[in-house]
Each structure stands twice: as C-alpha cells, then as structure tokens.
A = this chain, B = another copy of it.
Amino acid sequence: MLKTVTANPVTSEFNACRRCRAARLCRLARKPPAGTDASTKVVLRHRRLRRGDYLYRTGDPLHSLGVVCSGSVQTCLLHPDGTTQITGFHLAGEFTALGDMNAKQHTRDGVALETTCVCEILLSQLLELCHESPDVRRDVLQLVFDQLAHNEAQLLPLVGRKSATEQLAAFLLSLSERLAERGFSGEDFSLSMSRQDIGSYLGLAKETISRLFSRLENEGVISLDARRLRLTDPRRLAGLAAGATGL
C-alpha cells in the first residue's frame, strides 16, 4: 500500500516553503555554489506520501534529511518486545530524522499521518555545502542547536511528572503554536493523529486522552468534533498547561 508518487523537480515554490525553517538553507542549496558546474546533482527532491506511507523505516541508511512541506509525519520507535512508541510529530516546515544524524541509519519509522509532501535534502550535498558556504554552516548549526533546545524543553514536563491534564494542554498548545508559526490557524485545526498516538507520545493511555478531551470540552476550554479541534479558551488552556488547578 506504499505507493510513492514523486515527480516534481524544484521548479515551483510551495506555499509552505515561505515559512519553512529550512527555507534559507533550501535556497542556498538550490543554486549550485560558484565554482561547481551546473551538472551538480539536484539537492532537493520532493516526495508525496499518503496516509500510512512510510517516509523511511528503521534501519534504512540515512541518505537525507526530510523537511515537511505540507501534511504531517510521525516517528515511531519499534521496541524489541514488539510494541511501538510514537516519538514525535512533524508538521509543515519542520525537520525529521535530526536525531539520527549521528548514526548511519534511521532509528525510527517515519510515517505520513495524512497526505503529505516532503523535501529531502541529501546529506552528501549538505555537508559539501557546509564546507563551501559560511551561511550554510551557520544555518545548520542554528538548526541543530534549536533542535537540542527543543528536545530539552520537551524533556522537562515529563521528568517533572506533570499531570495528564497539564501534558495534554501543553501538547495542544504546542501544536497550535507550531501551526500558527507557519501561517495556519492556531485556534481551529484538525488533529491528524489518533487519541492512541497522542497517548503513546505523551506516555498516557488512550482512555485518559479521551477522558481529558471530554473534560476540557465540558469546561468550555476546547470544542471538539471528531478530530476537528477549536481552542475556545486558549488562555485558560495555557493556564492548565502551566499547572493551574482549575479543572
């Protein structure tokens, strides 16, 4: 069921590209640096995925970094005991597989949650560009440092053993902010992942997620119709994420 329809060269710019974190990198990468001839391989290629398609699988050699143009991707870790764990959601404008950069291969499965378009930056090209361009160097370092800081921030609520309510509220706000950053509505959007996935990601049972959604809706903080989510009281939600004991 994994039919991947790739085709487009990098001729036309996607809407999402404008606010993509890799936009600058992308532009730099597309114009072959002075001194190389025009036969330099295309640095970016696009892949189009449908719900359930794999962007990569655990154990695949790590050839490229993926940047989500549109749609969303989740990464799943396969445990030896057969269970799987969701380790991240990647929205438009975000990178995937950064955590595998020190290895030679992918340590997770990357799966599209909906119809999704991904730009792939070939590592060989990226590293070459790193040597040639100080701008690329700076961008790459900045990117990685941002990711480090992001990961550390993500770690805190988990270690701090925040309550399930706080965690879910923080998760919804994180989605909201990231969507808003890319120009989408941050207060009315669709959850591309299941309750189960959210639970796995946050370390909570799917039943708990369900119960919390119900409570948040009863309290008027959110409004939920299947997977369509509206943040009717974002400030209150932020309060809950910060540990307000109102609920």
A residues sitting closer than 8 Å to B (CB atoms) are 77, 81, 85, 87, 98-103, 130-131, 134, 137, 140-142, 144-149, 151-152, 154-156, 158-161, 201-203, 243
Complex: A151 Cα to B140 Cα, angstroms? 19
Decide: A156 near B99, CB < 8 A? Known: A130-B137, A131-B134.
Answer: no
**A-B CB proximity, top 8 nearest:** A102-B145, A158-B158, A99-B152, A101-B145, A159-B203, A161-B203, A151-B151, A102-B149
Complex contacts, A159 vs chain B, CB 8 Å: 85, 87, 158, 201-203
Q: Is the CB of B203 within 8 A of A87?
A: no
Please list 20 pairs of residues, one from A and one from B, whose beta carbons are closer than 8 Å in the complex, sorted by A's number. Answer: A77-B156, A85-B156, A85-B160, A87-B152, A87-B156, A99-B148, A99-B152, A100-B149, A102-B145, A102-B146, A130-B141, A137-B137, A144-B145, A148-B148, A154-B155, A158-B203, A159-B202, A159-B203, A160-B203, A161-B203
How close is A43's CB to chain B, nearest CB, in angstroms? 18
Complex contacts, A161 vs chain B, CB 8 Å: 203
Complex contacts, A144 vs chain B, CB 8 Å: 141, 144-145, 148
Closest-by-CB residue of B relative to A145 is: B102
Closest-by-CB residue of B relative to A131 is: B134
Complex: A243 Cα to B82 Cα, angstroms? 14
Closest-by-CB residue of B relative to A103 is: B149
Complex: A101 Cα to B138 Cα, angstroms? 12
Complex contacts, A160 vs chain B, CB 8 Å: 85, 203
Complex: A100 Cα to B146 Cα, angstroms? 9
Complex: A130 Cα to B243 Cα, angstroms? 42
Q: Is the CB of B155 within 8 A of A102?
A: no
Complex contacts, A151 vs chain B, CB 8 Å: 99, 148, 151-152, 155
Closest-by-CB residue of B relative to A243 is: B81
Q: Is the CB of B101 within 8 A of A148?
A: yes
Q: Is the CB of B156 within 8 A of A155?
A: no
User: Given contacts A100-B149, A151-B155, could you give 18 more A-B pairs where the C-beta distance is less than 8 Å?
Assistant: A85-B156, A85-B159, A85-B160, A99-B151, A102-B142, A102-B146, A131-B134, A141-B141, A141-B144, A144-B145, A144-B148, A148-B148, A148-B151, A155-B155, A158-B158, A158-B159, A160-B203, A161-B203
